[in-house]
Structure formats: structure tokens, C-alpha cells
Amino acid sequence: MARSRRRRHQDSFGRRAKREGHLARSVYKLEEIDRRVRLFRRGHRVLDLGAYPGSWSLYAAKKVGLEGRVLGLDIQPPTAATPANVELRHADIYEVDPKDFGTFDVVISDMAPSTTGNRFTDQCRSFDLFMRALDFAEALLPPGGSFVGKLFVGPDFDAARDRLRTLFVQHRIIRPKATRNESIEAFLVGLQRKEVVASTLDAETADPEQL
């Protein structure tokens, strides 16, 4: 596709988002990922990291229905009106403890750093956000749970994918059509959280008298 045609195609997602009343064009990225891997079921509990302005949370809320719930966290205070099954909270994911949030069936992260113009710095910050999102997934998902996380692809890509593999039975790398052409982002998807086995750390820190 020629460059200007590609650009028009990408902008059409922005126009469509406005027309269809979505808070952000990024909703079409989650929609495509969901269509391809079937992330949500009715009654699911979903944690949305980097939720502002809220298009992913509202999409997930529709899919899980009123018997499900969605909690969205972002360093930007929420502004969107939400249905009863959605709560948007002001929080920096580096300053909260994942264990304070209960359990979830799906953890999704569209978190992105404020870009600096230095590609390497932006990739490093995106990698840190991605790994922090995986900390939440590791702490909060029961066996069988699913994860989606955005990553600016860079030198740390293999480390991110390797950690995803240790936690999930299946993994996919998806670059949705709504992603801007010039963007270096991709979404790493983990399906079926593995059974949690007691870690060697637990054994090392356990009271030797009790072993």
C-alpha cells in the first residue's frame, strides 16, 4: 500500500472511533486481539492497566456483561462516565501493590510511557511497564487466566517474550491493523496461565526447622 493510502487507512480508525462514540481509536486494537484469541467471557473480572481515557475498559465491560467487572488503573485521573460494572481509578502501577487488588481472569495493559523522542529510552520505559504488567498478571491471575500487554519492540523483546512463556501455556505476538504504521508497538498475548508451582525462593526462605 502506498504511504499516503496507508496513512488514510490508519486515520480512518480515528474517524470511525468518533463516529461510533469510542473514547479512543485504540479500542479497535483490543477488538482485533479479542476476535483472534477470544479473551473475554461473560462474568469475567478484568484488570485494565493504563486505562485512560477508557476505551479498552468500556469494550471489556460490554463483553463481560453486568455479572462481570472491570477495574482500570491509570496515572491520569479518570474523566469518563462508566457503567456499573466498571471502576476507573487514579493509580501509578509502580506505586501500588498488585496483591491489594483481588483476583482477575484477564489482565490487559495498553500502558505506554510519555515518549521522549529517543527511541532507545522509550523502548526501555515501555519494557519496564510491560514487565510491571506481567508482575500483576503473575500475582493476580489464577491458572487458565489470560494476559495482553503492549510493548515497544526493541532489544529487550526476547526477555519479555521469555517471561511470558514461563507464565503462560500459549503465547501470541499481535500487531493489530489499527496500529499506526510508524509505531514500533506490538501486543504480547499470554493464554492459559500455568499452574503456580511453589518457587525455589519459597523453599529458600522457609524455616529450615519446618522442612
Ligand X SMILES: C[S@@+](CC[C@H](N)C(=O)[O-])C[C@H]1O[C@@H](n2cnc3c(N)ncnc32)[C@H](O)[C@@H]1O
Site for ligand X contains 176 (CB under 6 A): no
Residue 54 in the binding site for ligand X (CB under 6 A) = yes
27 to 46: interface string for ligand X, x by CB under 6 A: x-------------------
Nearer to ligand X, 111 or 141 (CB): 111
Q: Which of residues 93-152 bind ligand X (CB under 6 A)?
A: 93-94, 110-112, 129
Residue with the closest Cβ to ligand X? Answer: 50
H, E, C per residue of 146-165: EEEEEEECCCCHHHHHHHHH
Kindly state the number of chain residues that form the binding site for ligand X, as judged by CB under 6 A: 22
Catalytic residue among 29, 63, 150, 194: 150
Q: Which residues contact 54 (CB under 8 A, 6 or more apart)?
A: 23, 24, 72, 78, 80, 82, 86, 88
- CA trace torsion 111, 112, 113, 117 (10° rounding): 180
Note whether 143 and 193 are within 8 A (CB): yes
Q: Is 26 in the site for ligand X (CB under 6 A)?
A: yes
Annotated catalytic residue 150: yes
Out of 44, 55, 148, 151, the only residue in the binding site for ligand X (CB under 6 A) is 55
Distance CA 203, CA 132 (A): 24
Residue type at 116? T
Residue 43 DSSP code = T
Which of 68/78 has CB closer to ligand X? 78
Q: How far apart, in whole angstroms, are the C-alpha atoms of residue 115 and residue 119?
A: 8
Confirm or reject binding of residue 50 to ligand X (CB under 6 A): yes
Judged by the rule CB under 6 A, the positions of this chain that interact with ligand X are: 23-24, 26-27, 50-56, 73-76, 92-94, 110-112, 129
Catalytic residues: 150
